[in-house]
Structure 1
Amino acid sequence: MSLYWRIFLLNACVLAVAVALLLGPVTVSTPVLFGEALILLGGLAAMLVITAALLKVGLAPLARLNRAMANADLLKPGARPAVTGDGEIAALTQTFNAMLDRLEAERATSSGRVLTALEAERKRIAQELHDEIGQTLTAVLLQIKHAADQAPEPVRTDLRQAQETTRTSLDEIRRIARRLRPGVLEELGLHSALRSLAAEFTTPRLGATAHITPGPPHLDPAAELVLYRVAQEGLTNAVRHSGATRVEVHLRPLPRGGVTLLVRDNGHGLGEASEGAGIRGMRERALLIGAELVVEAGAHGGTQVRLDIREATATADDAIPETTRAPR
């Protein structure tokens, strides 16, 4: 029975009972007596209460579906409203769930294309920084050195300062190129890349450590890249926003297969701040490989980012040291 007819019949039943009472034991005089007015008002109140209760029960599935629609988030997939009954609301809930399935699949596909294009663009920019700007600055550095060797003493000091400034700029460009394209990930693997990443973020104000538990599985290149980018974004957020003095990067195998990445700091925590572009980017990368990303407050304060890759077929690598501290 459709929702329209159910509500119509429920109200019709209430009105029919009221008419039957008026035609039976309940009568109305002219003018209306005080006792009859009390009976009529009491009957009206009872009708309104019964109707409200029936409507609340009949429309409860619609209210649940409305809450599910309001809370739906394509970056947090999996949550679906329960399908109850076999009426119009059940069909509407099934349609909504099917729409969410399609939207999540389409978003995963489009996100995959965007992230693939983004990584290709990062690689191209890093290559141009290294090959063109890096080589140009290297040539400028050699020219300044040659000029400084032949210049008189007053000019030589200025040229030495220009030489150091150029060398600092060259080092900065190389650092940016390494962040844009994680060459160590391609050449030495995920474990060395995470250690190098922790060392890169270690400063006198922030101590970054990388902990690799023995036995993590070997992953496909896409999963390794996602793990690396999530660790990189977690460390970047710790440096920029948390005010932390210590951050830890953990990589450990899951009991039933797979691997988990944990980036944990001792900063001031999430607070009331909404998720920014960095966290949304991490969620999109996690969706790309079907992983689960959780950003939450740490057990002892601060913030922790956890990425779980449940399905990973691999061979354990027991030769990895249990804990590696990034050098300062």
Structure 2
Amino acid sequence: MTHGLTAPAKGDVFLRISAHLAERTDIATALEAVAGEIAEVIPFTHADLCLNDRPGWLSSYEVGIRTRWSRARTRVDASPIRELITGHCDFMLCTDAMHDPRQTFEGACSEPIFNHKLRSRVHVLMKVMGQPIGTLNISHSTPGLYSEDTVTRAQHVADVLSPYFHALHTAEQAQRATQVGQEARAREEGLRRGALELTQTLEQERQRIGMDLHDQTLADLTRLLRTVTGDGRLDRAGLGQHISETITDLRRIIDTAVPTLLELFGFAHAVRVHLERAVRDQTIALDVQDDTDGAPDRLDPTVRTAMFRIAQEAINNAARHSGATRIGVYIAPHAPRGLTMTIRDNGSGMPDTPDRHSGLAHIRTRARLISAGLDITNDYGCALRVTLERQP
């Protein structure tokens, strides 16, 4: 079945197409503007242009029916027109695309063909200066509607459309590149401001810690120095009590600083800093690995803090009591949406009846409060594993 136009009528259609396109500045409205003229040459249910986008991808612009083809870019190797766009043929003509293996192969983005019963299809190349820029694709729900004469007509339409749509597409890509550049500059400015704010926050934190150390810890140490260097009799019990209180106050200052470190630099960094502090001058190899792309920092703040406190207690136990020469903290994904944190050392292992001051009770409590699994194994050292089945 063919649909004929006389030569003058055909020329008039193409003149109208050119006139419409001369008034348009974007691809979508330009295609809408010439849809009626294309239908005069070739009746269609659906028509679209597939234009080469970035390497290996196509952008689609549709009239007649809106499908997923125009909602997202399509990979060339998944496109129903891949044989044409990759140069394996000069055109494609389908009597019934729903049963054509060239269009419905495994992995093909062919849902619109079935959803809208696009049976008759004709595809021709669009070229500018002899180079393919994309394809013109025309479809109809009636099977067997198109013939080789239709291919010729479609090629005439494509030849008229190609230079206009190439210019519009080039302008669109240039505009997109400009927008990407502006977004990149905005991100760079955001990073600059973030770095400035971070520097200011760190300075404020340094000043706060300095004031706490000056007003409290330094005053306590000065008082203790006077006590031990004075002429009076030393009260060892009282002196021990004062030293214990000073240590407690100093630990409070450190502990209040660490969550700020957690907020500023993230979970893995805060864990490493605590690990380094815990081992002090001991010759212990340290390792911190996060294979989750920062998943702990996407946890609810309360859960993240609890995980950090668990890591602190386990690290302290390993550094003080295990005799280990290596301590590591490892964070890994746990299917389907969880994570695990393992604190592992090569020391003596957890005793069967751990000291009540070991912090293990606190670890168990914190794990329960965040509904995390806790597993402790002694195997060439100790491995304490905390598992969150689902990231909150």
Fold match by TM threshold 0.5: no
Structure with greater Cα Rg: 2
Q: TM-score, normalised by structure 2?
A: 0.36
Q: Which has the higher contact order (CA 8 A, sep 6+)?
A: 1
More strand by share: 2
More helix by share: 1
